[in-house]
Amino acid sequence: MKSSQIKLAVLTLLMCFSCSKNPFTGKSTLALVPNSQLFPTAFAQYNQFLGENKVVTGTKQSDMITRVGQRIAIAAERWLNANGKQGYLADYKWEYNLVDDNTVNAWCMPGGKIVFYTGILPVAENETAIAAIMGHEVAHALANHGQQRMSAGMLQQVGAVAGNIAIQDDQKRGLFNQAYGIGSQVGVMLPFSRSHETEADKIGLYLMAIAGYNPEEAAQLWVRMGKASGGQAPPEMLSTHPATQTRIDNLTQLAPTAKSEAVKFGVNSFRPLGEF
């Protein structure tokens, strides 16, 4: 394949990008895999995961996960409706599950499929912190971060293939692959991921505040997360996530803005922390 053909193939892919702006970020998003394909795949993977893991039901904690999740989903819909985006969540199939696992983590798949691991509960300590985690994970889905990561990964692969086709010399091709692998990961993919985390932190604060939870608790959650990790983390530039202190500082700075946003929806006070 000639270099001109390679360029044409890449341009064809670029023309497939979604030009619509995400209502939560105001940004145009990469969308090589449309939600009409992404959501059904995510739903199937979610069901498979639940079938292979121990789901906790009928407990105070599992009920709390569902309650908080429903409140965050309602907050998202209220925000979207108020900003002229009615129907944005039409294809979402919200589901909230607590899974018995010591992993300190939670996640939300495209389309609203959520899992909390029991291992994160002791670090959260209270329902408000659960709302902070829930808001953050839901924000990833609402901002189409999963779709964007898949699309960026596809482009990364296209770049690698194009380079290998264009470079005929084996030695030069090997040097290209090494440089491209490191450069695209550290210079593009990791910063891309960190930006998603920062976006999700901001959107999540808004959602938890509109749902009636004090956004100031999000920073305190990350203080506890930092202690739970024992301070073990790679340098920020080599990580998919911002440094813990960076997140704490950002969340602290954004909390007043989230409170102001909540006032627009009639939220002038917040629920107690809700110990569990």
Q: What confidence score (pLDDT) does residue 168 get? A: 62
Q: Which helix (H) or strand (E) holds 98?
A: strand 95-99
The pTM score is 0.77
**Can you tell me which residue has the tokens 């954004």?**
254
Non-local (6+) Cβ contacts of 19 within 8 A are: 28
Q: What confidence score (pLDDT) does residue 182 get? A: 43
Torsion of CA 42, 55, 143, 135, to 10 degrees: 170
Q: What confidence score (pLDDT) does residue 7 get? A: 45
- Domain extent listing, the chain: 30-263
Please work out, in degrees rounded to the nearest 5, the angle formed at the alpha carbon of residue 265 by the alpha carbons of 264 and 267. Answer: 100
Any idea which fold 30-263 has?
Collagenase (Catalytic Domain) (3.40.390)
User: Half-sphere exposure (CA, 13 Å, Cβ side) for 273?
Assistant: 11
- List, by residue number, the catalytic residues: 137
Q: What is the pLDDT along the chain (276 residues), one digit of tens a residue?
A: 444 444 444 545 454 444 456 777 776 665 556 667 788 998 999 999 999 999 999 999 999 999 999 999 999 999 999 999 999 899 999 999 999 999 999 989 889 999 999 999 999 999 999 999 999 999 988 887 656 666 555 555 555 455 456 566 555 555 434 543 444 343 444 444 556 788 889 999 999 999 999 999 999 999 998 888 776 654 434 344 567 888 899 999 999 999 999 999 999 999 999 777
Q: What confidence score (pLDDT) does residue 231 get? A: 62
